Structure 1
């Protein structure tokens, strides 16, 4: 089970629904574990800067080419 009962952001829920671990996103995006953890936790609804967002979207598009920033963050 992913998420472990924690509040999840839209990004966190997207990963959970597809059975994708945060560690996978860390490896694919090249971002730090704490950054990914912050962005998948629903408590703070943190929005990434443009460079971070681009790295995350690039990794996720390997799985779903139609994914876009609006799916996760208010623009």
Structure 2
């Protein structure tokens, strides 16, 4: 956190909510490396099913979170 590495909006959401990628990966049933890529790699393009799993788990934590908050259009 704050080490100068690039974070996607999804990565910033994880950090702002105090969630580790390992913890969130277990919650949504996605590999932790995938969550890490989604949080820190601007060129990573996850599958639609992966995004749906992540969004479902994010909504369990915060029902007001929207797709656009985590994955804004580029």
CA RMSD, 1 decimal: 1.9
Q: Quick check: 1:3–1:12 contact (8 Å CA) kept in 2?
A: no
Q: Distance between the aligned counterparts of 1:33 and 1:3, measured in 2?
A: 20
Between Structure 1 and Structure 2, how many residues are aligned? Answer: 73
Where is the helix percentage greater, Structure 1 or Structure 2?
2
Query: Hey, what does 1:68 align to over in structure 2?
Result: 66
Query: Hey, what does 1:30 align to over in structure 2?
Result: 29
Normalising by structure 2, report the TM-score.
0.83
Report which stretch shifted further, 2-11 or 52-61.
2-11
Q: 1:33 to 1:10 in 2, by over 3 A?
A: same
Structure 2 gap segments, 5+ residues each: none
